[in-house]
Amino acid sequence: MGSDVCEDCGGPNDNAGRWQTCSKCQSKWSAKWVEEKKAKEEAAQRAWLAAVGRWLGSKISAEEAEQEFADPEIAVEFRELWHTFRAQLDEGDELWTFSSPVETWMKLCGRAGFAIVRGGRVVKTIITKLN
């Protein structure tokens, strides 16, 4: 149980009996936790985009890629994801196929799909195959 004094700032603990820190310090730590979590997610996204950049296959037109989603068996939700992805193509962007290395497929963690390349860098991806 918490004490009447905040262990973090030494001030009065308005959470005494429940927590060891006051509401102000908990808010600070919560904000810090959210910041750290966001930074980790952004770092993971940058690492993913960099990896896909090494796995690029061939440049493809949006119309060619669209054929992959023409099958009526494909779920409507997935087609909607494709249209959202395609809408992010800006003038001058390139659409490329990608596939992770063979060993990832052998380990049942392979990924393939399409990548938007802007200014020579992968900026967005959509996964269309995985195992």
pLDDT tens-digit series, residues 56-90? 999 999 999 988 888 888 888 888 999 999 999 99
Question: Is residue 110 within 8 Å of residue 99, measured between CB atoms?
Answer: yes
- For the whole model, what pTM was predicted? 0.76
Q: Which residue has the tokens 């490329």?
A: 96
Question: Is residue 22 within 8 Å of residue 5, measured between CB atoms?
Answer: no
Helix (H) or strand (E) run with residue 124 in it:
strand 121-130
C-alpha to C-alpha distance for 12 and 70, rounded to whole angstroms: 64
Question: Is residue 94 within 8 Å of residue 59, measured between CB atoms?
Answer: yes
Q: What is the pLDDT of residues 35-62, one digit of tens each?
A: 999 999 999 999 999 999 999 999 999 9
Where along the chain do its domains lie? 1-54, 55-131
Q: Which residue has the tokens 């980790």?
A: 40
